[in-house]
Structures are given as C-alpha cells and as structure tokens.
A and B are shown apart, each in its own frame.
Chain A
Amino acid sequence: MLIMINIMKTKQNIESLLSHREKVAWLSLATLAVTFGPYLIAMAANPPSRPLPDLRTMSFFASAAVAHLVLLGGGHLWLRMRFPADARAPADERDRAITLRALGAAYYVLIVGMIVVGCVMPFNSAGWKLINTAVAMIVLAQLVHYGVAAWSYRRGWHG
C-alpha cells in the first residue's frame, strides 16, 4: 500500500514538474516514433517495387499518417482535460526561447533534406524512393524539433 502511495506521489510530482509544452514535445516524439517509425523502417527494409500509384504503399502511408493524427489529437485532448490550467497558460519567455532553439535546429535538417530530395535525388531516383526520402526528412526534422525542445526543458537552456 505504501509503495503504491509513493508511486502515485512520484507520478504526480513528475507530472507537475513538466510544463504543458514539454509534455507536448514528449507526446509528439512518442507519436512520431510509433507511427512513422514502423512505416519508414518497413519502407527501408522492403522498398516498394510497383510503379506509382502503388495503392498498397499508399494505404500504408495513409494509415501511418491517420494513426499519427489520431494519437496526437487524443494526446492533446487528454492533456487539456487532465491539466486544464497548464494547457491554458500562454507561452512564457522560457517556452519561447526553447521553441526558437528547437525550430532553429530543425530548420537546418529540413533544408538539407529538401536539397537532397529536390536538387540531388531527381537526377537518379523517382517514385516512392523520392517520396519516402522526403517523408523521412520531414519526420527527422520534426524529431529534431521536438527532441531539442524536450532536451532543453529537461537539461536546461539559458536562452
């Protein structure tokens, strides 16, 4: 019983330590990992061989995108219901400094990705390879964005 109470108290402390935007960053990282992670791994391990439009691959991509949307939306809704005051609070100067840092880091990843996909790959690739590389670069940029934000909240960032 005492162990249970301690676990509950620790859980509450952790929940109250994290700001709303940090929870959102962790939620976004988790949803990206569980939805687009399997999709991109499957595409890398077994690249689609049929020409565009390949309905099987397209439906796989659509299911990953819809699952991501549903999980992210559900997570946001749960956070708003569980911590309404935190969710309503506007972003403060620390949130803005961390967002700026996270977006700055993700920007470089996205730029490199777009140069690779838009300027280099069209000379030797096409179809799903091009599409999936673009998806992978966007997912990577998002992972960097939310990863840097979550890391900055946890480890500290002095703006």
Chain B
Amino acid sequence: MAKSRIANQIRTLRFLNGEMTQAQLGERIGVTRQTIAAIEARKYSPSLEAAFRIAEVLGKRLDEVFQWEPAANQHESCE
C-alpha cells in the first residue's frame, strides 16, 4: 500500500511537548499507541475528529500538524 499523502509533524511536536510518548498521546485522544505509530509512519490516515484532537493536545493548528502532499505530476501541471 502507498503511503498516505497526508504528511505530519507529530513526532517532532511530541518531542517539543515535553517528550510526550506515543502511549500518552494515544491515551489523550482515545486511540492505541500502535495507531499513533501508524499515523506517524503514514500507514493510517486519522479521521478528521482524531486529527483535530491530536492538534489540540499538541497545542497547534491542524495545518501545522498535518499537511497535504500533492502528487508529483499534479504539482508539475500546476506550475
């Protein structure tokens, strides 16, 4: 399966938030530690609600945590 086109800064932001662990973040938003690991590795795209919760816990706006990566050919055609 191709990686999700939704990039994220969760790992960096966790460390900037007092080295929060995946388990702590997962507990606060109501998912398992393995799901946080899958989101960080772009193996799972969270629901909109989970994404907002992650941003809220990390104290950032949604677009600071998650970014949409346009496809390479789509990017070229725009230019």
Contacts and interface: CB of A to CB of B under 8 A. Distances in A.
Interface of A: 16-20, 22, 86, 89, 92-95, 97, 155-159
Contacts of A19: 32, 34-35
Contacts of B42: 156
A101 B1 CA distance: 14
Nearest to A154: B43
Interface string B27-40: 00011111101100
Nearest to B3: A156
Contact of A156 (B33, B43, B46): B43
A18 B34 contact: yes
Contacts, number: 48
B35 A92 contact: yes
Given A17-B37, A94-B38, A156 B32 contact: no
Contacts of A16: 33
A89 B38 CA distance: 17
Interface of B: 1, 3-4, 30-35, 37-38, 41-47, 50
B30 A92 contact: yes
A158 B39 CA distance: 9
A92 B44 contact: no
Contacts of B45: 158-159
Contacts of B33: 16
A94 to B, nearest CB: 4
A19 B46 CA distance: 16
B32 A159 contact: no
B11 to A, nearest CB: 15
Contacts of B3: 156
B34 A156 contact: no
Contacts of B31: 92-94
A19 B39 CA distance: 14
A22 B44 CA distance: 14
Given A156-B3, A159-B45, A93 B50 contact: yes
